[in-house]
Amino acid sequence: MNPFRDYLSAVWNILRKDLQVEWRGRQGVPVMLVFSLLVVFLFNFALQLSPDLQAGLAAGLLWVSLAFASTLGLNRSVSLEQENKAMDGMLMAPVDRSAIYFGKVLSNFSFTFLVGLVLLPVFSLFYQQNMFKPMLVLVMVLGLGAYTSLGTLLAALSIQTRTRDVLLPVLLYPLALPILIAAVESSRSILAGQPIADYQSWMTFLLAGNILFTAAGLMFFETILEE
């Protein structure tokens, strides 16, 4: 058989299993969605932001709520493998560890991206501006791609610990900060209608983040998982 096709099918099998579990009622996506909306409301309340100010904050809030929500998704995706040590079963299968990594990144990415896509029209409504711009969707793909590839790596790291259920955000948020900054900055420029040249460097930065973190995942996933 074609080894490349084998590899892809292994990735797809892992992704498919996660989709199946989600479909069977793990409720990951709905919980993430509700949570991200909650974060938005909570912040508007707790920080007592004035309406005109809020518009400028839309990009920041969008990414903060996405970052928070996707941590829930990552935790979920990890605890799924941890119950009954299902991860051990996957590790013993004749599947490349990097395929496991890619499969998990893809599943985490798709759930989070779905949440992001739903958030866009909601934000458009709340902040009275059309946020459904192709460029913004692209930023979302790049930003969430980098975020989830780093997040999956760190989630695999944190499930090995005794503090498993709470460690992930502590590890992830600060390390993901450059990604979040770049994503917020490009989103802000896009929403302000600036030309691409103004935020191109941020987008390149996001792309580099994707490459860097995926490389790190490929390099370290095996090391992290060996007991």
Site for another protein in 6-25 (CB under 8 A): 6, 9-10, 13-14, 16-17, 20-21, 24-25
By residue count, the chain amounts to: 227
Query: With respect to its own copies, which residue has the nearer C-beta, 11 or 157?
Result: 157
Question: Quick check: 75 binds its own copies (CB under 8 A)?
Answer: yes
Closer to its own copies by Cβ: residue 76 or 97: 76
> What is the distance between the alpha carbons of residues 167 and 74, in angstroms, rounded to a whole number?
12
Please tell me the number of Cα atoms within 13 Å of 117 on its side-chain side. 10
Amino acid at position 221, single letter: F
SS3 content of the chain, % helix, strand, coil (to 5): 85, 0, 15
Site for another protein in 104-133 (CB under 8 A): 125-128
Which residue in the set 64, 95, 136, 156 belongs to the binding site for its own copies (CB under 8 A)? Answer: 64
Interface of this chain with its own copies, residues 141 to 180, rule: CB under 8 A: 162-163, 165-167, 169-170, 173-174, 177, 180
Q: Of 41 and 219, which CB lies nearer to its own copies in the complex structure?
A: 41
Q: Is residue 181 a contact residue for another protein (CB under 8 A)?
A: yes
Toward another protein, which CB reaches closer, 96 or 138?
A: 96
Selection from 149, 148, 133 nearest residue 188 by Cα? 133
With CB under 8 A as the rule, give the number of residues binding another protein: 76
Stated as kind and residue range, the H or E segment containing 40 is helix 28-46
Query: Which of residues 3, 25, 51, 195 is near its own copies by CB under 8 A?
Result: 25
- CA dist 34 and 40 (Å) reads 10
Smallest distance from the beta carbon of 178 to its own copies, in angstroms? 10
- Residue 88, CA distances (Å) to 27, 180, 216 in order: 24, 33, 22
Residue type, 169: P
**CB neighbourhood size of 189 (10 A):** 21
- The residues binding its own copies (CB under 8 A) are 25-28, 31-32, 34-35, 38-39, 41-43, 45-48, 53, 57, 60-61, 63-64, 72, 75-76, 79, 162-163, 165-167, 169-170, 173-174, 177, 180-181, 184
